[in-house]
Chain A
Amino acid sequence: MAPAETHIDRGPLDREGIFALIRDELADILEIDPAAIAESSSFEDLKADSLALIELVEALEEELGERTVGFRIEDEDLEDLRTVRDAVDYVAAKLQVG
């Protein structure tokens, strides 16, 4: 088996890419159509409970951790994330994307 790669060159991730990543991961977790998720969507409206958000965080850390070693979303920050836009802004800030 090939060793895990820690720096996979997938090109820079812009804000749109971050939204697409979050949207697709969330759609997979909630088993809904990605088209049903907009930046303005609230997690409550999407029926994404605390467990679903932890699943989302884990998925993002796994995906983004391969691009940026040490990428992590702090558990205490989760409470402040109410909408998809909040999550996109948070990740963008962590990745220092404009």
Chain B
Amino acid sequence: MNAPLPVAVDAMGGDRAPADVVAGARRAAEEGLRVVLVGPPEQIGDTAGIELVACREVIGMGEDPAGAVRRKKDSSLVRAAELVRDHKAAAMVSAGNTGATMAAALLRMGRLRGAIRPCIAIPLPRRGAEPAVLVDAGANAECTPQMLVQFAQMGAAYAIERYRIANPTVALLSIGEEASKGTTLVKETSELLRAGVPGVRFVGNVEGRDLLGCPADVVVTDGFTGNVALKTAEGTLRYAGRLLAEVFDHDEQTKAAAAVLAPHLTPVLARLDPENTGGAMLLGVRGICVISHGSSSSVAIANAIRVAHDLAARGLVDRLGAAL
């Protein structure tokens, strides 16, 4: 049996590249996962034995995504996507420019047959259960009802493969549970989903306050709303964390209380930490593309590589294609 293909990692993506990316790749390699780094050798330095695919250019975080992919054909992002396209890598991982990552994946791997547009799926933490999936978390600011229906189909297929949820329920994000609530886009999409869509067990609308600890397994929305929701949740959790830290640091009594609570809080907070989620997934391209948070440390990179390998082995792309 052939060895599995490696995961191609954009060595120059993210705030902590290349050092933390290389360290994350090393962590994954030590677990027995095949990894290949992509980037300019002179900027990466010692890869501790991990194979390096050399390139000369890097797409920066602030660059125009499509323009950068077109101009910098020898960039680490573009080359990583090409490795997947050419079946030299099972998947790609990048913590770099999200828009450019999507553009590289789309223009090099190609769009999945039948997919109008790719979308980004992210995990929503839930207590005592596998995460729910939010889709689209920012790929498409403007959407049509047909796009949202496809996001629902791909999101459900992803929830099955990623989180082993057997028959996922799907909800639309709106400003009320009633079918009459929401924008024209939401109402028209709701109508299509209620009429019945293969692979989508539609259960109605959820609101923003339902996203954390969500009762539905998949939540569908347009990319603008999804991104606002994602950033709001992240900011709220971070703010609550700071408030809690201030209380714990108040005096000797609260510090002692913190020491008692710490072992119980740590695993709970770990589930909320983006470092441990394995990254976001681009759905709708002909390959696996994991988009890691821009501030990813080596832990997050290693987690993303692990998820990429797992989903490649499970044939995620074929499942998504079959779902459309």
Q: How far is the CA of A79 from the CA of B142 in the complex (A)?
A: 20
CA distance A57 to B103 in the complex (A): 13
Q: Does A31 count as interface, using CB distance less than 8 angstroms?
A: yes
Using a CB-CB cutoff of 8 Å, which residues 40-98 of chain A contact chain B? Answer: 51, 54-55, 57-58, 75
Q: For the complex, give the distance between the alpha carbons of A75 and B67 in Å.
A: 8
1/0 per position for B31-65, CB-CB distance to A under 8 A? 00000000000000000000000000000000000
Chain B residue, CB-CB nearest to A29: B111
Report B-chain residues with C-beta under 8 Å of the C-beta of A75: 67, 70
> Do most interface residues of chain A lie in helix, strand or loop, or is the interface mixed?
helix
In the assembled complex, 18 residue pairs joining A and B whose CB atoms fall closer than 8 Å, in A order, are: A29-B111, A31-B113, A31-B114, A51-B66, A51-B106, A51-B117, A54-B66, A54-B70, A54-B103, A54-B107, A55-B106, A55-B107, A55-B111, A57-B70, A58-B70, A58-B107, A75-B67, A75-B70
Of all chain A residues, the one with the shortest Cβ separation from B140 is A51
Number of interface residues of A (CB under 8 A): 8
- In the A-B complex, the 4 residue pairs with the smallest Cβ-Cβ separation, listed nearest first, are A58-B107, A54-B66, A75-B67, A55-B107
Q: A31-B114, A51-B66, A75-B67 are in contact. List 15 more A-B contacts (CB 8 A).
A: A29-B111, A31-B113, A51-B106, A51-B117, A54-B66, A54-B70, A54-B103, A54-B107, A55-B106, A55-B107, A55-B111, A57-B70, A58-B70, A58-B107, A75-B70
Binding site for A on B (CB under 8 A): 66-67, 70, 103, 106-107, 111, 113-114, 117
Please give, as numbers and ranges, the residues of chain A lying within 8 Å of B66 by CB-CB distance: 51, 54
Contacts of B113 in A (CB 8 A): 31
List B contacts of A29 (CB < 8 A): 111
Q: How far apart are A89's CB and chain B's nearest CB, in angstroms?
A: 21
User: Contacts of A51 on B, CB cut-off 8 Å?
Assistant: 66, 106, 117
Complex interface: chain B residues within 8 A of A57 (CB) = 70
**Complex-state Cα separation, A57 to B106, whole angstroms:** 13
| Closest residue on chain A to residue B108 by CB atoms | A58
Closest to A74 in B: B70
Please name all residues of chain A whose beta carbon is closer than 8 Å to the beta carbon of B67 when the two chains form the complex.
Answer: 75
Give the complex CA separation of A54 and B111 in angstroms.
13
